[in-house]
Structure 1
Amino acid sequence: MQPRDFRRNSLYLKSTTTLLHLILRPLYQFKENIFQQFNSKVGQVAVLVDPEKTNTDELLLPLIEKATFAQIDYFFVGGSTVSRLDIEKTVNILKTHSTIPVVLFPGASHQLSKEADALLYLSLVSGRNPDFLISQHIHSAQEVLQLPFEVIPTAYILVDGGTKSSVAYVSQTTPIPRDQPSIAQNTALAGLFQGKKVVYFDAGSGAEKTVPAAFVSHLKATIDCVVIVGGGIRNIETIQHFAEAGANLIVIGNHIEKNTDFLLDLHTFNNQNTPKVDVK
């Protein structure tokens, strides 16, 4: 065989092998287990864990114990300036010591962990910063494709909570004013029409005021969708108020960091009230 023929045959074999690999490789399949759980009921509760503040056994194990006792539905994990290492460490501890589903709530494209059950793939649709609308997603797309968790496209909407949140500062975006329900609804609808599966209204960590419940009830009265709400939630009455407005999931974060015993109050609430409402 001449050298040229050998090279030609080698290139042919290489291209054929690559083609077969692409053909035989299974196509990516979207999972919907966690999303279906989101969609099944209103009044579910998630505890937001910030790995920058809570990432050790000493801090997480008491939280896990009380969260399990309180029968919370999910752990959310994420923060505005958290490292990949802290994300992975925190998720590992949660998954090792609890059966509660862990959902990533990332503040940047690197905040991923293969051990998580799901990822909220957040687009900050309330702002006009392209980095948080699409650029971060492009950076992470190939890695997300390879990871085993469920991906949930989410329209993330910042709402004025009375203080400037870390998300607003980092993203350099302006939250939607509290007295502009039509802007909030139209922003949510635009996200849903673009293919997002969840709307997340957030007043930000440590907010003085929560998202207006009317933002939730008006949207739910207009379109069938999953709504998450968070920021500034400090008591059981507020959780019940948002559940009555139709929120599928209420997220508690900063208040739990300061007072984990609030989870004991949540346990009492869950046992004294009717089961979470099935929306199907």
Structure 2
Amino acid sequence: MKQNIYHQFITKKSSGKKSFAVLIDPDKVNAKSIAELVKLSIEAKVDYFFVGGSLVISHHLDECIQQIKAACSIPIILFPGSPSQVSKYADALLYLSLISGRNPELLIGQHVISAPFVKKSGLEIMPTGYMVIDGGAPTTVSYISNASPIPADKSEIAMCTAMAGEMLGMKLIYMDAGSGARRPITEHMIEKVAQHIDVPLIIGGGIVDPEKAYLNCKAGADIIVVGNAIEKDFSLISEISAAIHSVANVNAG
């Protein structure tokens, strides 16, 4: 099984380097906006593209990924909202298990159905413990999953959930406040989780400015994911990327 991108994650984590992933929802972009997004991402030295969404009803996932691939060499990682969101044109897939909820379908049920298709895709598969944190607004993922998010002030629950995910064999922990979250995940919760796991920690949801991205990295996040804020203002890409990549320099000094 390929482990090229995961190896990058581990290598960067061990050297204290932080990564920036731009989240692209195929339902919210067209050929023109993708072209602009990719151009700005290259200039800003974005590390990864996460592609996917909770619904993806536009049926142009493949076309979206192929356009990005044709324009740059930034790795593309699928962030699927359902088992049907698989494209052989991507580089890797976050194989998400919703460990913050108690819906067996999203813990293992849908994976059983999708496994042959995912295996056949040839993608690098990264088992990911997905944790939804209350961001102060109802999210699509909470509605679709029929699962309550972890309360924003319950850092111990988040910590224990992440620890359990790692011990169950998850290669990544992804904490997400959801698209359009009113409140991003607190630095306290990020720090609590980061101190108790060894696998890379991904943080997303409600990050709307460079300062928050910087503080999340300082608290222990390894990869910062921003989507909604960038959809509204593409110029944020360079500022957030610079903030995230500056953390390693501070730590190195």
Query: Scaled by the length of structure 1, what TM-score is found?
Result: 0.84
Which residue in 1 is equivalent to 2:83?
109
Among 34, 49, 74, the alignment partner of 2:5 is 34
> Aligned-pair RMSD on alpha carbons?
1.8
| Pairing 1:222-237 to 2, within 5 Å after superposition | 222-237=196-211
Whether the 8 Å CA contact 2:18–2:248 is kept in 1: the answer is no
SS at match of 2:95: strand
Which residue in 1 is equivalent to 2:148?
174
Distance 1:271 1:135, change over 3 A: closer
Distance 1:277 1:76, change over 3 A: farther
| Pairing 1:190-205 to 2, within 5 Å after superposition | 190-205=164-179
Which residue in 2 is equivalent to 1:49?
24
CA distance, structure 2, for counterparts of residue 272 and residue 134 of structure 1? 38
Bigger radius of gyration among the two:
1
Distance 1:157 1:269, change over 3 A: closer
Deviation at 1:219, TM superposition (A): 2.1
Whether the 8 Å CA contact 2:92–2:123 is kept in 1: the answer is yes
Instruction: Give the aligned residue type for 1:196.
Output: M
How many residues end up aligned between the 2 structures? 248
CA distance, structure 1, for counterparts of residue 43 and residue 249 of structure 2? 16
**Structure 2: which 5+ runs fail to align?**
none
Whether the 8 Å CA contact 2:180–2:206 is kept in 1: the answer is yes
Among 105, 114, 127, the alignment partner of 1:131 is 105
Whether the 8 Å CA contact 2:202–2:222 is kept in 1: the answer is yes
Q: Are positions 1:207 and 2:178 aligned together?
A: no
CA distance, structure 1, for counterparts of residue 230 and residue 107 of structure 2? 29
Deviation at 1:216, TM superposition (A): 2.1
Which residue in 2 is equivalent to 1:67?
41
**Structure 1: which 5+ runs fail to align?**
1-29
Deviation at 1:275, TM superposition (A): 4.2
CA deviation string 1:74-128 (max 9, x = no partner): 0000111114832212111111111100000000000000011100000011111
Among 117, 120, 124, the alignment partner of 1:150 is 124
Which residue in 2 is equivalent to 1:87?
61
Among 216, 220, 230, the alignment partner of 1:246 is 220
Query: Scaled by the length of structure 2, what TM-score is found?
Result: 0.92
Which residue in 2 is equivalent to 1:121?
95
SS at match of 2:62: helix
CA distance, structure 1, for counterparts of residue 242 and residue 82 of structure 2? 36
